[in-house]
Amino acid sequence: MRKLQKAGSVLLTVVLAGSLVIGCGAKKDDSKADDTKATKTEETTESAKEEEPVTLMVAAAASLQYSYEDKLIPMFEKENPNITVTGTYDSSGKLQTQIEEGIEADVFMSAATKQMNTLVDESLVDKDTVVDLLENKIVLITAADSTLDLKEFTDITKAQTVALGDPESVPVGQYSKEALTNLGLWDEVSAKASLGTNVTEVLNQVAEGSADAGIVYATDAATTDKVKVIAEAPADSLAEPAIYPVGVVTASKNKEAAQKFVDFLGTGEAIAVFEDYGFIQNK
């Protein structure tokens, strides 16, 4: 009888011990499941954050519009499907003013260092993001069917009407004035000039025949067969080449994406596109 009681006690002890082991194992499994679930939730949240849609506004010189809209923006958006890029294009001086007045731009690319430097000095563009990316040439043009006998840049004096960018706000106008002044021709040419508010307006005046000749960037002249290039401005007529800097606007709410776009513009594939449109990489 005592042997049976003893055996029963041992059996009960074993059963209880087994229950405790199973219970502990279940708790460990539950803990592991909770950890795995938490990790997956964190990964999903992080992934969603990375793919959150972003819209960038790029304020760029008018001479950049074709390369941006035709090739560069589509290329960037394909590589970054969560980022949409919209562009606003005008003279660098006008865009500078708009940024000063609070336009919600994320990236600024100008056709001269003057406007960029001013915005950096005003703490409106982050200095450490600015890259002097491209170089352009200024050229004398006439309509494609013009019969004027122009062969050199200085032959601009033979034109009765001339289209120029406004030197007060349009970089190509500033370069034009500098070149013509150094050549001793500014007073004569400016007296018969109509001033465009951006380089596209100057190009159109010549293409449509409302001006006999004009001065634009080489890249703009290459966008249409309605004009022909007579000559580049002499190298010694400009103190510095026409440089295109790009940088992130300080007030941008999308700085990470904006910097990604600036970095993209400096890649080999983007530079190749710029070169196809007549720009030169600044080195």
The DSSP-derived string for 68-108 is: IIIIIHHHHHHH-TTEEEEEEEE-HHHHHHHHHTT---SEE
> At residue 98, what is the residue type?
Q
Q: Is 144 helix (H, G, I), strand (E, B) or coil?
A: coil
77-95: string of b/e by CB count within 10 Å (b at 16+)? Answer: eeebeebebebebbbbbbb
18: amino acid identity, one letter: G
Structure tokens at 41: 């939730």
| The token pair that represents 236 in the structure block | 């010694």
- As annotated, the binding site includes 63, 92, 199, 217
The DSSP line for 39-54 is HHHHHHHHHHHHT--E
Inter-residue contact 156 to 233 (CB < 8 Å): no
133 CB burial (10 A radius; 0-12, 13-18, 19+): buried
For the annotated binding site for molybdate, the residues are 63, 92, 199, 217
Determine the Cα–Cα distance for residues 129 and 250; give it in Å rounded to an integer: 10
